[in-house]
Amino acid sequence: MTRKYFGTDGIRGRVGEPPITADFLLKLGWAAGRVFANEGNDFVLVGKDTRISGYMFESAMEAGLTAAGVDTRLLGPMPTPGIAYLTRTLRAQAGIVISASHNPYYDNGVKFFSVQGTKLPDDIERKIEHYIDSPMTTVESSKLGKAKRLVDAAGRYIEFCKASVPTRLDFADMRIVIDCANGATYHIAPHVFSEVGAEVVTIGAEPNGLNINDECGATKPEKLAATVLAYRADLGIALDGDGDRLIMVDHKGEIVDGDELIYIIAKSRLDAGQMTGPVVGTLMTNLGMEHGLKQWGIHLVRAKVGDRYVMEMLSEHKGILGGESSGHIICLDKTTTGDGIIAALQIMAEMQSSGKSLHELKSGMQKYPQVLINIKTNKKIRPDTDEGIQKAVQAVEKKLGDKGRVLLRASGTEPLVRVMVEGENEELVKNYANQLAEDVKKAIGA
């Protein structure tokens, strides 16, 4: 069964346009409340990032949950992985995140965590969708839910993050720059890294509701790179608006993406005798990472794009490490979901343990040139079933042979078709990607 409202990462869209409207979020809160009330009688956590629409949607979700008879604990601005952690440790019925992650301020969305701190099972999402399309009712007044703020949420999560690296490690000789993307980590990440001993320079930590992910953070690490060089820092840490992505910068100002970071953590776990199962990447994972892991006897398996699919494959293969080149990194030996802060701490721990710089650690993996072009579309399209697009893909694949690959896919969170070409020769890869993008535009009428 397909889902009507839920995508690969919850429900997301432009604020004021269905379904991201105040009335829909009210109904969604009520629908989720009905489902959670049937599953048990515990409270639900609600957190958000720093975009301005979060105030409106937090109130709407609270009202809907209250009408369904469910108690709510409001967390305020909180990283997505922090909400997952608190949902699990406080044994909440569920955790609700109001965020559009790396998207601009004018987008927003909602995603859910189960009591285990993982994404909701598909059957629970379908039950919620059933109630969304049902008439809204309100429980009898004596059974209405109650809401209150959880004042120590940030402190609890800060301590959890710090505990993910051994206390014997001393980061006092490490200068780092942190870019919080003017998002949900602005009041948390600087504390975490300074409290483990590092000298911290912070940028992107002045959210005003409109500047989240604006030319900063994991999707725009250029400012971070410049700041690392200016302060002669050992490394830079770029998080995204809700804190579940990580991109880093080495001391030379070179950007280190999710694939390279996963490679470093995998090698670290292997050296410590702690590597279990394969590493799980996605269809977008660079061939260089696959080859780099293979030289150490670590197998890579590829999931569909989206951290929920990485999680499913990790569970299936009993793995502990996976993620995406975009910076979603899941360390299941430390937490239950993708967490930018915890992933960064694992990299810093390996730097201290090995005595190597981030630049040296990433050098064991040689990335293939990869060109990604996003094509906006006003209609839903499946590139794998369009005959014209497939002919264009096959033509490029024939030219690449076994020296590269092509991937076309529709985004699960934005109205985009993503065209990716990867191969040994950068100039050829660029040419093939541009030509393929033009062929796709013609086929979809973009």
Output b/e per residue, 378-412; b: 16+ Cβ within 10 A.
eeebebeebeebeebbeebeeebeeebbbbbbbbe
Tokens of residue 399, six digits: 């030219």
Please spell the DSSP secondary structure of 231-296, one letter per residue: HT-SEEEEE-TTS-BEEEEETTS-EE-HHHHHHHHHHHHHHTT---S-EEEETTS-HHHHHHHHTT
Q: How far apart are CA 155 and CA 195, in angstroms?
A: 12
Look at the chain and count its residues: 446
Query: 252: closest CA among 238, 271, 270, 234?
Result: 234
Q: Quick check: 370 and 430 in contact, CB under 8 A?
A: no
Rounded to the nearest 5°, which phi and psi values hold at 392? Answer: -65, -40
Look up residue 122 and give its two tokens: 């598909």
| CA atoms lying within 13 Å on the CB side of residue 113 | 30
DSSP 7-43: BTTBEEEETTSTTSSHHHHHHHHHHHHHHHHHH-S--
Question: Is residue 101 annotated as a catalytic residue, yes or no?
Answer: yes
- Supply angle C-alpha 380, 382, 383, rounded to 5: 125
Q: Cβ(128)–Cβ(26) under 8 Å?
A: no
**Token couple for 101:** 């992650």
190: exposed, middle or buried (Cβ count in 10 Å: 0-12, 13-18, 19+): middle
d(CA 442, CA 381): 13
| Other Cβ atoms within 10 Å of 426 Cβ, number | 12
Query: How far from 92 is each of 34, 51, 56, 114, 412, CA to CA, in Å?
Result: 15, 25, 23, 8, 28
Q: Cα–Cα distance between 191 and 197 in angstroms, integer?
A: 10
Out of 53, 99, 101, 114, pick the active-site residue.
101
Burial code (b: 16+ CB inside 10 Å, e: under 16) for 151-161 equals eebbeebbebb
Could you give the 3-state DSSP secondary structure of residue 328?
Answer: strand
Could you tell me the strand order of the sheet in which 370-376 lies? 370-376, 416-423, 404-410
Residues designated catalytic:
101
